[in-house]
Structure 1
Amino acid sequence: MFSCAYVLLAISASVSLLAGTFTEEQRLTIVALIGAAAFGELLSFTLPPAWWRESMLGSLLSFAVLCTTSALLILQDPIFLLFGITGFFRALMLRPPAVMFLGLTATAVVVHTFPVGGPVVALTDKPALYLVILTVQVVSVGLGALASQYVHDQNEERRRTVKELEAALEENAGLHAQLVTQAREAGVLDERQRMAREIHDTLAQSFTGIVTQLEAADRPHTETSQWRAHVDRARILAREGLAEARRSVQALRPESLERHALPVALAELSERWARDATAELSFETTGESKPMLAEIELALYRVAQEALTNVSKHAKAGKVGITLSYMDDVVLLDVRDDGTGFQHRAHTGGEQGFGLNTMRQRLQRVAGNLEVESRPGEGTAISASVPAILAEAR
């Protein structure tokens, strides 16, 4: 590792040897001390590995070599004060802080006393001024270094915190998307099973009944009145089956969601509901609307549909309000009414309980949540929250 001590030593040596007036013996002494200083810096600081330089023993050893050689050189020529200043930088590497202050004090003593002949001479001539200069320099340099280190540590801690937060956000977004994907796959399976049950319970039974009635009408010797009754019954069963088929198809994805964004689809749903209801309905959207995953929009649409159905059947409300709120991380759907309400904690069954369970299951498939607040005579508030995962996140 290259050290600035070599540069300051070279400058000091050049000025001293070229401009100084020394005897041959003094010049040889200075050259020998310059070589010793360079060799000591090489062995104690440059060549050793980083772990040794950063250890307490290694840092103390390199500081002691630097401080000793600079003091001896300053005694020969004060110009080597430039080389001695390196001791301040080396002292700042010492740890703990108490050892650092001792190193700064030793360097200040070398720099301020050896140019005038040593500590004894400096204390003899204006000792108070000498001690004040030493104290101010050591305290200012030491406290400045500690403050700088503190700021550096705080900045590093902030950087680490920001990186950890960014990593956590990325991981959370990935997990959220993965959770929605898994929930969507589970929802697809549930929807298939639901369709299979409905086909078995409704359409299959209707078709079976139609076939039975037509076979009965086609039997030989069937009277005209009986034949007509069988055909009429088959016609009724066919109409019922057609209605069930239409209802099942509509349950897959509403046409309004296929044609419009969620806010427009909910507005149309509200208008259709209000035409046949006696309650006054208001709908509003807050925040910047963005296209979400199809499964998320469908879940919110179905929750609104089911909530309005519950209001029609049970609430006897005068006013109903629907609010769709787009936030940074979630999308909220709130449905409120001033109807009869119900005891939510004790309510576990019935049509309305089945409707709430259906809403909750739909939301759980897209990592959403349903909250219900209701009391008898105080109306009902339903709040559905789902993660705000954009359509392109698929």
Structure 2
Amino acid sequence: MAWKEEQLRVWDFLQLLTPWLLLTISAAIYFSWVLPASGERFRPDGVSVLGLVAVSVLWVLFGHTLPIRKRTLRPGPAGIFFVGLLALCVTLMTYSHIFLVFTIAGFFHAYLLRPWPLGVLGVLATSVALNGSAMRVWAHPAPDLLAEFLLIVTVQTAAIGVGIVLTARSEPEERKREELVERLEAALHENAGLHAQLVAQARESGAQDERQRLASEIHDTLAQGLAGIITQLQAAERSASVRTRGETEEHVARALRLARSSLTEARRSVRALAPRELGRAHLPDALRTLTEGWSKDQGISARMEVTGTREPLSPAIEVSLFRVAQESLTNVAKHAGASRVGVTLSYTGTEVLLDVRDDGRGFATGVGTGFGLTSMRQRIRGVGGHVEVQSAPGEGTAVSARVPAITPGDTGAKGESGR
């Protein structure tokens, strides 16, 4: 296509330049050599030729050059220009044969005539005018000369006219190619716009996902840790008021542990790492550590059980289930007023189930719609699972998460990066 475009540019340049070049050469030779060599004065022939040259300049400028540059040349005006050009050439050749050079421009302009039979006719007319003047056929119409003239005109017309015919036949295909190129360029432009939109949407989605991740991490780590610190310090304050030093020191020690743990989790969240417990062990052991630590801190009996055959899960699955257990235990400590909690992790082969049940006060259906439960559902939904919360006033609460058992080598899970 690049070669074709270059070829078209060269042809357009020749179309524009040829009449001017041939007219300049003819006029320059006539006024600098032919007219002085004839011994004639500038008047009257020189003046007449100069006038015809000036008319030719205006005719070429307004009938050929400007329309081609502006791409406004039409078949009708092109035919009129060709007839006028040939008439000027024939008239100039009556003053000097050197203007045969200018007449050659008719062959180039014949390619612009439409339909193609007019182009071939233009080549024939140019050949007749050119060779008739050069061979002086009209002055001496001898049979041999006429035969030679007819042969030259025929061969010349056939040789140049075949180019016009081939060009005319290839024009529909060229137009189709041009239309195809235009459509392709439009499609590329549209695709570029769509690509830019997709990049912007992906960037916005990535930023939204990161905001959601940080919000969940802050809620699951910092917010819960700070809440625990406040609870322990308030308990220490109450203990100090009744002068029970040992209990006060115990509450302060718990507050320090929570503060250090929250700081560690904050750093891990910023680096998009899995929770500390999962960094040291797989999910069952991490949940057991979490449950035992929570039971010790809250003074609530908690039991952790694992059923089924244990198998390693993808980091995203393990992190999501761990966060569900963490959030569920935090909610029990805050709201349930429970005396016993049971955490069960079940491997069923194709799925993994996590259940956190308590015997607390429970709540009415539709009440549990805080950020914690919303974040919990979003986490589990992100790895292809779902969460169910069952509760009733006075009957405790059960949180059940069900996720596919995706192994670490499976690319189907999406979520937080692991250890």
1:246 aligns with 2:267: no
Extract unaligned runs of 5+ from structure 1: 256-268, 279-305, 315-338, 344-348, 360-373, 386-394
Residue 368 of structure 2 corresponds to none
For residues 377 and 188 of structure 1, the distance between their equivalents in structure 2, rounded to whole angstroms, comes to 24
Structure 1 SS opposite 2:411:
strand
Structure 2 SS opposite 1:380:
coil
Displacement of 1:251 after TM fit?
Answer: 0.4
Structure 2 SS opposite 1:111:
helix
Residue 379 of structure 2 corresponds to 354
**1:10 corresponds to which of 27, 30, 39:** 27
For residues 235 and 381 of structure 1, the distance between their equivalents in structure 2, rounded to whole angstroms, comes to 43
Residue 107 of structure 1 corresponds to 126
Please tell me the residue identity of whatever aligns with 1:357.
Answer: G
1:46 aligns with 2:64: no
Q: Rg bigger for which structure?
A: 2
For residues 182 and 239 of structure 2, the distance between their equivalents in structure 1, rounded to whole angstroms, comes to 83
Structure 2 SS opposite 1:88:
helix
Residue 106 of structure 2 corresponds to 87
Report sequence identity in percent. Answer: 13
User: Are 1:340 and 1:378, in contact at CA under 8 Å, matched by a contact in 2?
Assistant: no
For residues 271 and 81 of structure 2, the distance between their equivalents in structure 1, rounded to whole angstroms, comes to 77
Structure 2 SS opposite 1:381:
coil
Displacement of 1:71 after TM fit?
Answer: 2.1
**2:151 corresponds to which of 124, 129, 151:** 129
Q: Following superposition of structure 1 onto structure 2, how do residues 120-159 of structure 1 map, counting pairs within 5 Å?
A: 124-126=146-148, 129-130=151-152, 132-142=154-164
**1:205 corresponds to which of 220, 227, 237:** 227
Displacement of 1:216 after TM fit?
Answer: 3.2
Please tell me the residue identity of whatever aligns with 1:139.
Answer: G
* 1:241/1:221 CA distance change after superposition, 3 Å: closer
Q: Deviations over 1:20-68 (max 9, x none)?
A: 59xx89x978547624531331332235782487344443333222211
For residues 342 and 143 of structure 1, the distance between their equivalents in structure 2, rounded to whole angstroms, comes to 75
Residue 326 of structure 1 corresponds to none
Structure 2 SS opposite 1:113:
helix
User: Are 1:340 and 1:379, in contact at CA under 8 Å, matched by a contact in 2?
Assistant: no
**2:253 corresponds to which of 232, 235, 240:** 235
Please tell me the residue identity of whatever aligns with 2:225.
Answer: L
User: Are 1:13 and 1:34, in contact at CA under 8 Å, matched by a contact in 2?
Assistant: no
Moved more, 149-158 or 198-207: 149-158
Please tell me the residue identity of whatever aligns with 1:101.
Answer: V
Displacement of 1:81 after TM fit?
Answer: 1.5
* 1:33/1:146 CA distance change after superposition, 3 Å: farther
User: Are 1:56 and 1:94, in contact at CA under 8 Å, matched by a contact in 2?
Assistant: yes
1:34 aligns with 2:64: no
User: Are 2:100 and 2:130, in contact at CA under 8 Å, matched by a contact in 1?
Assistant: yes
User: Are 1:41 and 1:65, in contact at CA under 8 Å, matched by a contact in 2?
Assistant: no
* 1:62/1:135 CA distance change after superposition, 3 Å: closer
For residues 195 and 136 of structure 1, the distance between their equivalents in structure 2, rounded to whole angstroms, comes to 85
* 1:160/1:8 CA distance change after superposition, 3 Å: farther
**2:315 corresponds to which of 285, 308, 320:** 308
Paired residues, number: 293
Aligned residues: CA RMSD: 5.6
For residues 110 and 87 of structure 1, the distance between their equivalents in structure 2, rounded to whole angstroms, comes to 10
* 1:17/1:342 CA distance change after superposition, 3 Å: farther
Structure 1 SS opposite 2:412:
strand
TM-score of the two chains, using structure 1 as the length reference: 0.52
Residue 411 of structure 2 corresponds to 381
Extract unaligned runs of 5+ from structure 2: 1-15, 284-312, 322-347, 353-373, 385-403
* 1:375/1:202 CA distance change after superposition, 3 Å: closer
**2:236 corresponds to which of 192, 214, 222:** 214
Please tell me the residue identity of whatever aligns with 1:13.
Answer: Y
Please tell me the residue identity of whatever aligns with 1:91.
Answer: A
For residues 156 and 113 of structure 1, the distance between their equivalents in structure 2, rounded to whole angstroms, comes to 41
Q: Deviations over 1:250-278 (max 9, x none)?
A: 101259xxxxxxxxxxxxx9xxx999579
Structure 2 SS opposite 1:44:
helix
Q: Following superposition of structure 1 onto structure 2, how do residues 326-341 of structure 1 map, counting pairs within 5 Å?
A: none
For residues 33 and 158 of structure 1, the distance between their equivalents in structure 2, rounded to whole angstroms, comes to 52
Please tell me the residue identity of whatever aligns with 1:38.
Answer: V
Q: Following superposition of structure 1 onto structure 2, how do residues 271-290 of structure 1 map, counting pairs within 5 Å?
A: none
